[in-house]
Amino acid sequence: MQPIRQGADQLEIHIIELPRLPSRGSPEYDQEGKLADWGRFFRAADDADLEELAMSDEVFGKAKEALDELSADPYAQRVARLREEGLAMYRMEMGEARRQGEAAGEARGEARGEARGQQAVLIQQLEFRFGALSDQTRETLDHASPELIRAWALRVLSASSIEEVFM
């Protein structure tokens, strides 16, 4: 038995991203027609834009009246104010979190760069004092902590052999 799907072939869902709607005056805007007008209505920056739309079409006039009634309601005003305050707080928190994340990333990057630089200097010192380094020595250096690299860099100054450096 097949389920009955009356009207299923008549139903359409359109998802519209308001920021992607064409701007007023562009050739694409004229092609979009009512859709662009509704986008303008929902994204209106000021009352003049809403008023112009309301004068151009009765449907927009009724929508503006409903919006005005809603805007006059104290409860709706409070909800809107709380929403705006919440959005402002969210933006501030996200900005602060972004700054903290960037600072932490910078600090990690600087520490890694400093460690690589110290390792490069140690390699130069070792090669200058003891000649070419073996693959095993290079691997040891690659896996060493920054603290070990610093300790070895001090030892290389007084060591008589490469083995003494890594003791």
Of 77 and 1, the structure prediction assigns the larger pLDDT to 77
Distances (CA, A) of 64 to 34, 39, 48, 78, 81: 15, 14, 11, 20, 20
> What pLDDT sits at residue 6?
65
In tens, the pLDDT along 125-137 reads: 999 999 999 999 9
Alpha-carbon span 29 to 36, nearest angstrom: 6
> What pLDDT sits at residue 8?
63
Nearest Cα residue to 44 out of 26, 18, 69 = 18
Q: Is the pLDDT of residue 2 over 70?
A: no
SS (H, E, C) the chain: CCCCCCCHHHCCCCCCCHHHCCCCCCHHHHHHCHHHHHHHHHCCCCHHHHHHHHHHCHHHHHHHHHHHHHHHCHHHHHHHHHHHHHHHHHHHHHHHHHHHHHHHHHHHHHHHHHHHHHHHHHHHHHHHHHCCCCHHHHHHHHCCCHHHHHHHHHHCCCCCCHHHHCC
pTM above the 0.85 mark?
Answer: no
Joined tokens for residue 161? 């052999």
Spell out the domain ranges in the chain: 17-72
Reported confidence tier of residue 7, pLDDT bands at 50, 70, 90: low
Dmax (CA) for the chain in angstroms is 95
> What pLDDT sits at residue 92?
97
Q: Is the pLDDT of residue 21 over 90?
A: no
Joined tokens for residue 67? 């919006």
| Contact (CB, 8 A) for 102 and 132 | no
Lowest mean pLDDT among 14-18, 22-26, 90-94, 97-101: 22-26
Alpha-carbon span 131 to 129, nearest angstrom: 6
Of 16 and 60, the structure prediction assigns the larger pLDDT to 60
Q: Is the pLDDT of residue 29 over 80?
A: no
> What pLDDT sits at residue 45?
74
* End-to-end Cα, the chain, rounded Å: 82
